[in-house]
Structure 1
Amino acid sequence: MKIGDMYTNGQYLKHNPTWGADDAAWKADQIFTMIQKHGLKPATVCEAGCGSGEILWQLQQKMDRNCIFTGYDISPQAIDLACRHSNRNLTFRLADISEEKGTTYDLILLIDLIEHLEDYFEFLRILKDKSQHKILHIPLEMFAVSSLYPSFHLGQKRKVGHLHFFSRETALQVLRDLGYEVVDYQYTAGYRLPHHDYGIKDRMLSVPRRLLYPLAPDITARIFGGYSLLVLVR
């Protein structure tokens, strides 16, 4: 079985029946804030690896009503979920955007995606000329405490298909190495979402996360985890 087969044979859906829809409104808020902060006014928005399509649908409620949204995913199960949100300006395609020829957008979203890709370097190289701006959301799963529990990374691979694990520094350096200009980035605290309960160890870590983050955000994320990185590049 190929590594990516879990997204097409129903295995991923079995472990993740909502396909991330529970987090979508929160993620859309983070993305929209970044868009507004930098005065972006895209006429076309694409999400690669759109999953349930919920993020694009949530963004559509916030942005100009004439904006055109397109979601891509290689999973037929994901596209079946996403198509429930289809409308005149929001469509979904069962396809890999990196294989599309001559297709460009004003803004491409890569939300919790690159950690799933076997060769994310090549994927990001191909996408570079497909839009002026991109927004990525990258889980920061390479932190000090995680190194004490090898089962954490193995569990992330088994349950949600994460093949790569990033810190803030490695995530930003990858983008710069590929020729992207990092315009802005910020931490997002996914561990605070009420439905994210990963057990007693994670609940214990929430205490130092909350107390130390206002004083030293970088150190807190590097030691205790629980954060992702939202990055705007061009």
Structure 2
Amino acid sequence: MVSNTEQHNIYTDGNYKEKNPTWHIEDSPWKANHVLSILKRNNLQPKSICEVGCGAGEILIQLYNQMPEYVQFYGYEISPQGFELCKNRENNRVKFYLKDLVLDNEAFFDVLLVIDVFEHVEDYLGFLKKINTKSKYKIFHIPLDLSLQRVLRINSILTAREQLGHLHYFTKETALAALEDTGYKIIDYFYTATNIDLHEKLAQTKFMNIIRKISFKFNQDLTARILGGYSLMVLTE
């Protein structure tokens, strides 16, 4: 995960690792494919890609396996427990650092990945302003925790806070506004079907996902706003 001086300490004291022992490594191929998709949609061919809050590092490993040999990858992680999961996976094109990217004055990359990160950061607006100088392009993946269904079932939001460490909750509109307010230019974005693609275990979830799929074909924004279960992939400058 990622930090600055105001960040909650659950990522450095082992609490997050205790609650999420895999550091969500199982979701990384899915996330990496969406990163590749938004790069391809916008004809971007970066030579350097950095991920802030890289966790176990699996997203970068997935990209390494699928992108040209000239691309170099860098992962920054402030959690010692997260760094333990990624440090032995380095190779000649993938490097990991137990370091706060915000404090690395020399760091600059073609693309910065901010995948399910800033909802965890206490001063997320300050954090967004600081990382804006670290790359030409930025790719964000943002959970859309605010929906009518989740507000009515408030325990699901509280679970995200307790289990996942989410401190801030967004709709598509507020997520994009936060980026624009902190100096980013929105180039492209699309929804990702988090619940449908990754959480298909319970019978109740399966039923809701059928409704989501049908509704999404008619109105994407309304489906995300009412039924939830989606995240947002955003490309910015």
Q: State the TM bucket, normalised to the shorter chain.
A: over 0.9
1:81 corresponds to:
85
- Find out whether 1:113 has 2:117 as its counterpart: yes
Q: In angstroms, what is the RMSD of aligned CA positions? A: 1.5
1:6 corresponds to:
10
Q: Which aligned pairs between 1:166-177 and structure 2 lie closer than 5 A?
A: 166-177=170-181
- Find out whether 1:19 has 2:23 as its counterpart: yes
The Cα offsets for residues 31-76 of structure 1, whole Å up to 9 and x where unpaired, read as 0011111111111110000011000000011112121111011101
2:155 to 151, 156, 162: 151
1:185 to 185, 189, 197: 189
Contact 2:7/2:123 (CA < 8 Å) preserved in 1?
Answer: no
Moved over 6 A (4+): none
Give the superposition deviation at 1:203: 3.6
1:45 corresponds to:
49
Distance 1:35 1:116 in 2: 25
Distance 2:207 2:170 in 1: 22
1:142 corresponds to:
146
> How high is the TM-score relative to the length of structure 2?
0.94
2:131 to 99, 109, 127: 127
Unaligned 5+ runs, structure 1: none
Distance 1:199 1:16 in 2: 20
Change (3 A) 1:217 1:48: same
Give the superposition deviation at 1:10: 1.5
Change (3 A) 1:158 1:210: same
1:219 corresponds to:
222
Q: Which moved more, 1:105-114 or 1:57-66?
A: 57-66
Give the superposition deviation at 1:92: 0.6
SS at match of 1:46: strand
1:209 corresponds to:
212
1:232 corresponds to:
235
Give the superposition deviation at 1:202: 3.4
1:55 corresponds to:
59
The Cα offsets for residues 147-198 of structure 1, whole Å up to 9 and x where unpaired, read as 112211111111010000000000001111112110000000011235x257
Name the amino acid aligned to 2:50: C
Aligned length: 232
SS at match of 1:29: helix
1:36 corresponds to:
40
Distance 1:147 1:130 in 2: 35
Distance 2:132 2:151 in 1: 33
Distance 1:137 1:103 in 2: 21
Name the amino acid aligned to 1:221: A
SS at match of 1:66: coil
SS at match of 1:213: helix
Identity %: 39
Give the superposition deviation at 1:224: 0.4
> How high is the TM-score relative to the length of structure 1?
0.95
